[in-house]
Amino acid sequence: MGEHALGSLVEMTLFVLMIALAVYIARLRSLFAAAMLFGIFSLLSAGMLTLMDAVDVAFTEAAVGAGISTVLILGALGLTTSEEAPPRKHGWTALLVVSATGLMLIYGTLDLPVYGDPNAPIHQHVAPHYLKDSVDEIGIPNVVTSVLASYRGYDTFGETTVILTAAVGAILLLGPRTGRTRKEDDDGEGSQ
């Protein structure tokens, strides 16, 4: 029980830090600072996922969120300015839409099973089979790898294709053969 209480305390601290960070990032005008803080945000969510025993996902979040995407955002900042333009007016409509969507999402979570509930539908479908039989059928200890690469190999193939498509898109839009030279980028390519 003591360990559980400590776990909840760490979880709550991480949650509070993430919310505080999100609010702070939303109020920041410096995009450079925001990019850096997003990295810290990803690191905090990686910690959160580790507490949920989802180490594979936490690993990915730390590597992609805190590592690669920070570099890519910095690269994108290099093409524009690193200061956000001051807003022209207060977007009350936007606030209304966002609040309404948020309330609907919270209403939607009321139907979800309690966090960690072993009787939740997600734990009743194929998960018991994977956990019980994957060592005999696949023969490797990491069930996550068994599910990703073998049981759900078709989905992972699709995901790999999505990543391939992302690179093809980036190469076609921004790559060396887009026909525009570096000098031309300086005018008219900014965010405003």
Partner 1 sequence: MSDSPIKMRVRETVILRVVGKALVPFILLFALYVQFHGDYGPGGGFQAGVIFAAGLILYALIFGLDSLREAIPQVVVEIGIALGTLLYGGVGVVSMIMGGEFLHYGVLDHHNPVHGQHLGILLVELGVGITVAFVMVAIFYAFAGRSRQ
Nearer to partner 1, 41 or 146 (CB): 146
Q: What is the DSSP string of 3-65?
A: HHHHHHHHHHHHHHHHHHHHHHHHH--BHHHHHHHHHHHHHHHHHHHHHTT-HHHHHHIIIII
Q: In the set 21, 25, 43, 77, which binds partner 1 (CB under 8 A)?
A: 77
3-state secondary structure at position 111: coil
Shortest Cβ distance from residue 10 to partner 1 (Å)?
19
Q: Does 161 bind partner 1 (CB under 8 A)?
A: yes
**Count of alpha carbons within 13 Å of 95, Cβ hemisphere only?**
5
| Total of chain residues touching partner 1, rule CB under 8 A | 54
Nearer to partner 1, 14 or 82 (CB): 82
Nearer to partner 1, 9 or 174 (CB): 174
Binding to partner 1 in span 16-45, by CB under 8 A: 32
Tell me how far CA of residue 29 lies from CA of 79, 88, 89, in angstroms: 17, 14, 15
Q: Which two tokens stand for residue 149?
A: 């690469």
Q: Does 56 bind partner 1 (CB under 8 A)?
A: yes
Nearer to partner 1, 85 or 164 (CB): 164
Q: Does 60 bind partner 1 (CB under 8 A)?
A: yes
